[in-house]
Structure 1
C-alpha cells in the first residue's frame, strides 16, 4: 500500500458517501439508501482499496500538537502566545479553557462539523465507514481471499482503535457494532452510551477477531510500515485492559451519579482486582508476541555513528533514538501518515542570530517540574538522593571536564543540570548544555552548546513569537540528522515515525500491572523496570534505592513500587504524549495540574538573574476535566445521551 495515499484526507469517503452518512445525524451510523454508490465503491479491488485507505485516513495525527491533546494539553511543556510554526490551540486545554459549545480536540461530533472540530476528527463517522467496508468487502470480483482477509483484520483493528480513542477521552460511548438501516426510526437512531465494562469487552472482542489475519510483521518496509501487525493488536489490547483496570475506570465512585435514561450505572462502582490480573496476562502476551516479531529495546550503540562517540553521549541518545530513529525495532506501532516536521521545528534550538529568522520555532518548552522530575545519576529522585541533601538545585556551578559531554566546560549553569540521569540529557535542552546533531554527528568532541539566556539566540526572548517560556527546550523529539545551516534558519528535518506504542511502554505497564496483582513486589516486577533503566546506565531499583535513597526500602512495598513505576513512566516516556493520559488514568491530574507552572527568568542576561525560578501560570483541574465534554449540540439532537460529570 502506498504510504502517500494514507495522507490524503478522506479521499475514499468519496462518491458522496460521507455526505449521505453525516446527514442522518451527528455520529449515527446509518446505511445509506444509495446502493449504486456503494456498489461502485466496491466494484473491484482498486476501488475497495481506496475505501480501505479512507478508513485509515481517520487515524489521529499523534505527532501533531494541533490535533493530539496529549502534546500541548498538560503540564509537561508550556508554550507562548502569540506563537508561530504551530498553533497553540490545544494548549488551551492545559489553561482550563475547555467547553461544551465547541470542545477542543472534539473527536465525537460528526463530519458535518469537520471545520469546527477544534483539532479533532469525526471518529463516529470513521466507525460508520469501517462498518460499510466490512459489510461490502465481499463484493470485489478480483480480490483474492487472503488479501480480503488481511484487509478485514485491519479494519477490525481500526474499529477497535477508534472505539478505544473515544473511550479514553469520553469514558462510556455508544458502540457502533453495525450500521443501522436507513429505515430506522428517530428513536432507534438515538443511541445510548454503553457502560464502561461493555465498551472494554467490545474493543477486546474486535482486537481478538483482528488477530486471525494480521501479519506477524510487515514485510514490505517501503510501502506498508505503520500498518497493524499481530503484535500491534495485542499491545493495544493490553493498553485497553490496563486502562480499564486503572483507578479512573476501576471503582471510581466520583462517577456514581452518571446514570443513563435506562437507569444504568455507566461507570463500575466496585474496585475489581481481577482486572489487573487480566491486564497483566494481556501485557505478557503482547510482550512475548513483540519479541517473537523481532522487537527489542533500541540500542544507539549499534547505529552507524556510535562507534566514534563516547559513552555519555551514547547513553543520552538511547531514549532520544528510541523515539526518532526511523522504524527502529522498539517501535511496535508508529505514525506513518504524518511528518513530525512542525514538532521538530518548535523543539529546535538556535545557536546564533541567523537562526532567528523564521524557520526555527524554539518554543516547545519543558516545565521546571518536569526538569526536576528526572532522576539523579544515582537513579533515584533528587528529593530522595542522599548525595543531594543540602545541595541548592539552583546554585550556580561551572561546567568542568568531568561533565563535558553534557555541559560546556567553563560555562556557568546550575547544580540542577549536573549529575542527572542520561534520559535527562537526551530529553532536555538547557542553558549551556550539549546538543548532539545538527551536522556534527561523526564525533562528540565538538558538539553544539546552547545558550538560553535573555537575548541569547538559543531560547532567548527574540524574536517575540519564538522563544522558550521556561528556559528549556525539548531535545528528545529532534532527530540528530535534522539540521540548520549556520548562516540561516532554513531547517531540514529528518522524517521519522512518531511512536504510538513502543516496547519500553509495555515493559513498564507490565511491571505496573504485576505490582498491582501481587501482595508485594518481587523479582518479576523489578525485572521489567530494570530492563528499561539499564539501557541508559542506571542500576536496578532495589540496588539504587538501597545505596542512594533516604527511603531505602521503598521498592519493597506495593505502594512504594507503584510510585517508582509511575515515575519511571514519566521519565522514560516524557514528551511522547503518555504523561497526559497516564495522569488521568491514575487519577493524579488533580494533583499535578493544580500546581503552578514554573520556569526560569528567561529575560535574565547573566546566571544570577536567569536562574531565578518564577511562576508562569497557575492552572486549575477539577474532576470534570478527567473526561471530555460532549458537544452541546450533539446532546440536544440525541436526548438519550447523558453528559459527562461536571459539564
Structure 2
C-alpha cells in the first residue's frame, strides 16, 4: 500500500478530525473552511481516506480489551491481567453490562462512517483525475459498508445514515433499521464498490480495497445472515426488536445466497490457498502469515515491519511483559492428528502420554506448548519453552517464569502468525506480516458450510472445499470419509473453522451465529499442567475457568450512554 496510508488523519490535519465524544455517533467537528482546505489538496484528500483505512481490523486486535480480545471473550482462550473489570471478563463471567462494556464497536464504526460520508460529499471537487475519483469513491463505499458490518455483527440492526453528514446541532436518525434492511444495504454497497475496482492491486497500490475484498465481505455477511441466530431463530419471537436483530422468518434459500457470494471469489481464479514449499507438512499455513503479499489475503490491515504479535503472545522470558490471551486445553484438543482423525477417535493413534506427537501440523503453528521451540534474543536462536513443573526432586519442587501458573494459567501460549525467527525484544528482528481480515481459506469454508446447509447432504463440491483446506494443512490423508451426512459434515466444517481460523476473531461470532454459545461458553474450561519427574513428563488436566453464558450475550448491548440520548434507539434484549 502507498506509504500515505500509514499517515493518520489526526496527524495530517488534526483540527479537521477533532472529535466531540459527547455527540451521538461521535460526531466529527469540522468547518466549511477546513473541508475546503482538505479537499482542495490531493495529498490531504488521500490522507483523509487513510484515516478511514487505519482502523479496519480494530475488532480482531488481540489486545482489544487489554489482556485479550475476542479470543478471551469466548471459549478460545483465557485473558491476561484479570485484576480489572473489562469486556473479556464480562463475557467470561456472564456479567456483560451496557454501562461498562467497551464502546469501540459503536464509536469507531460510526466515526468512520461519518468520515466516509464526508469523503463522498467532497470527492467530486477533489484535485485529482476522474479515474482516481472513481477508485477512491469505490474504496470509500466499501469501507463504509465494512464499518456497518462491524456494527451489525455486534448489535444486530442499527441506524443506517445513508450519505448524510450530520452536524453537532443536527437531528440524527436513531431508529434502528431492520436486520434485512441492513443486510441489503451492505450487499448493495459491496456490489457497487466491486464494479469499479480491480480484482487485485500491485506496486504502491497493493493493500488497497479491491473487488475480492468486496465479495469477501459479502460472503461473510450473507453466511452470518443465513445462520440460525439470524435466520428466523432470533432472541425474540415478537415485538419491535424481532425484525431488528434478525430475520423474523426462516428461509433456507439464504444459505444458497451465501454459497453464491463465496463462489464469486472462487470462480475468479485470482485467489488460492498459499501452499509454500515442501520443506515440512503444512508449511504454507505458517508461511502465509509472514508474507506481506500472498495469493490468499483478500483484505488485510497493512502494517510496517513489526514484532507486534511476538510482543503479545510469546512467553515472559522471551521478551513479553504485557501479554495477550492463553489458549484453553479445549482449543488445543480441537486440533486432531496428522492423519486427519480427532484425538477422541480410537483409530487416531493419539497417546495421552505423548499428547503432542503426530498432531495436525496447524497445532504447532497456532499453540506454544511445553518444550515448543521459540526464537529468543540470547544467541538469536530457538529455545525450548519450559512450562513444566519440575518434581524430579520431590523435596524441592521448582518451576520457571514461563511455567504453568506463573507465566500461563492454561499451560499454553498462543503462537498463531508468530514468526519463527523474530524475537519480541530484539530490535533487529522484524516481520513484514500484516494482519489478515479476510482470507481465501475463510471463503472456502464459507462456501462449504453454506452449500452443505442448503443441499441437505454434502456433494463433491463441499468435499473439495474442505479437503483443500485439510491438504494445505498437511494432513495425510486429507480426504474425508465418503457418504457423510449433513450433520457429520457440519461437525467437520465447524472443527475446521475452529482450527484454521483460530485467533483471527472468528470463533466469538461463529459460536453465536450457530447458537451453540450457550453450551460452548457455559462450561468448565481447562488447561494442562506438565509435571516432570525422574521418569517422564506427565500431563495433568487442570480447571482454569467456569465460564458463564446468558442468552442475552448472543448480541452486544448498545452502550447505555447512547441509548439514553434517544427513546427511539431500542436496547438489545436482556439489557
Residue of structure 1 equivalent to 2:554: 626
Partner in structure 2 of residue 324 of structure 1: 290
Partner of 1:231: 212
Task: Give the one of 268, 276, 282 matched to 1:300.
Answer: 276
Range with greater deviation from structure 2 (359-368 or 147-156): 359-368
Rounded to whole Å, the distance in 2 between the matches of 1:537 and 1:441 is 31
Does the alignment pair 1:103 with 2:101?
yes
Distance 1:441 1:545 in 2: 47
Alpha-carbon distance change, 37 to 476 in structure 1, aligned in 2, over 3 angstroms: closer
1:345 aligns with 2:311: yes
- Report the CA distance shift for 1:288/1:575 in structure 2 as closer, same or farther (over 3 A): same
Contact 2:7 2:47 in 1 (8 A): no
Residue pair 1:365, 1:469 contacting (<8 A) in 2 also? yes
Q: Secondary structure at the match of 1:255?
A: coil
Contact conserved, 1:439 with 1:481, CA < 8 A, in 2?
Answer: no
Q: What is the count of residue pairs matched by the alignment? A: 563
Residue 3 of structure 2 is matched in structure 1 by 3
Please state how far the C-alpha of 1:368 moved relative to its aligned partner: 0.4
Deviations 1:606-635 (A, max 9, x none): 787862211111111121111111111211
Q: Which moved more, 1:617-626 or 1:607-616?
A: 607-616
CA 1:635 to 1:363, structure 2 compared with 1: closer, same or farther past 3 Å? closer
Contact 1:597 1:615 in 2 (8 A): yes
Instruction: Please give the alpha-carbon distance, in whole angstroms, between the structure 2 residues aligned to 1:623 and 1:544.
Output: 35
Deviation at 1:70, TM superposition (A): 2.2
SS of alignment partner, residue 127 of structure 1? helix
Report what 1:77 is aligned to.
77
- Tell me the equivalent position of 1:41: 38
Q: Tell me by how many angstroms 1:29 deviates.
A: 6.7
Deviations 1:124-144 (A, max 9, x none): 12111111110111113x311
Aligned to 2:371: 432
Preserved CA contact (<8 Å) 2:525 2:544: yes
Is 1:370 aligned with 2:331? yes
Q: Is the 8 A contact 1:63 1:340 kept in 2?
A: no
Cα 1:558–1:492 change in 2 (3 A) is same
Q: Which residue of 2 aligns with 1:268?
A: 247
- Aligned equivalent of 2:387: 452
CA distance in 2, matches of 1:213, 1:321: 32
Q: 1:318 to 1:173 in 2, by over 3 A?
A: same
Q: Secondary structure at the match of 1:617?
A: strand
> 1:59-78 counterparts in 2 under 5 A?
59-61=56-58, 64-67=61-64, 69-78=69-78
Q: Any conservation in 2 of the 1:279–1:513 contact (CA below 8 Å)? A: yes
CA deviations 1:382-419 (Å, max 9, x no partner) are 2234345xx7x54xxxxxxxxxxxxxxxxxxx332123
> 1:205 and 1:642, CA in 2 relative to 1: closer, same or farther beyond 3 A?
same
Q: How do 1:124-139 residues align onto structure 2 when only pairs under 5 Å count?
A: 124-139=110-125
User: How far did residue 151 of structure 1 move?
Assistant: 0.6
Is the contact made by 1:596 and 1:619 (CA closer than 8 Å) also made in structure 2? Answer: yes
Q: Does the 8 Å contact 2:177/2:244 carry over to 1?
A: no
1:530 — aligned with what? 467
* Alpha-carbon distance in 2 for matches of 1:362, 1:267: 36
Q: Distance in 2 between matches of 1:503 and 1:415?
A: 34
Task: Report what 1:415 is aligned to.
Answer: 354
Of 151, 158, 166, the residue aligned with 2:136 is 151
Q: For 1:107, what is the secondary structure of its paired residue?
A: helix
Match of 1:579 among 496, 504, 507: 507
CA positional deviation for 1:367: 0.8
SS of structure 2 residue aligned to 1:637:
coil
The alignment yields a C-alpha RMSD, in angstroms, of: 3.3
1:288 equivalent in structure 2: 267
The separation in 1 between residues aligned to 2:516 and 2:555, in whole angstroms, is: 13
Could you state the TM-score of these two structures normalised by the residue count of structure 1? 0.79
Q: 1: distance between equivalents of 2:500 and 2:261? A: 22
| TM-superposition CA deviations, 1:316-363 (whole Å, max 9, x none) | 43322222333222122111147763422232247xxxx36x546676
Distance 1:498 1:185 in 2: 37
Moved more, 128-137 or 34-43: 34-43
- Aligned match for 1:204, one of 187, 193, 196: 187
Deviation of the 1:211 alpha carbon: 1.3
1:166 paired with 2:151, answer yes
1:25-36 pair list within 5 angstroms: 25-27=23-25, 34-36=31-33
**C-alpha contact 1:471 1:601 (8 A) present in aligned 2:** yes
Q: What is the distance in 2 between the residues matched to 1:461 and 1:522? A: 45
Following superposition, the deviation at residue 499 of structure 1 comes to 1.1
User: What is residue 444 of structure 2 aligned with on the other side?
Assistant: 507
Match for 2:423 among 483, 492, 498? 483
Q: 1:88 to 1:363 in 2, by over 3 A?
A: farther
Give the corresponding residue for 2:392: none
Any idea what SS the aligned residue of 1:95 has? helix
2-side partners of 1:644 and 1:235: how far apart? 28
- List per-residue Cα deviations over 1:426-453 (Å, max 9, x = no partner): 2222223455x669999xxx96443311
For residue 517 of structure 1, what is the aligned residue in structure 2? Answer: 454
Q: 2: CA distance between counterparts of 1:19 and 1:359?
A: 34
**CA contact under 8 A between 1:374 and 1:423: conserved in structure 2?**
yes
> Does the Cα contact within 8 Å between 1:327 and 1:334 map onto a contact in 2?
no
Work out which of the residue numbers 207, 217, 222 in structure 1 matches 2:200: 217
Q: Distance in 1 between matches of 2:342 and 2:163?
A: 50
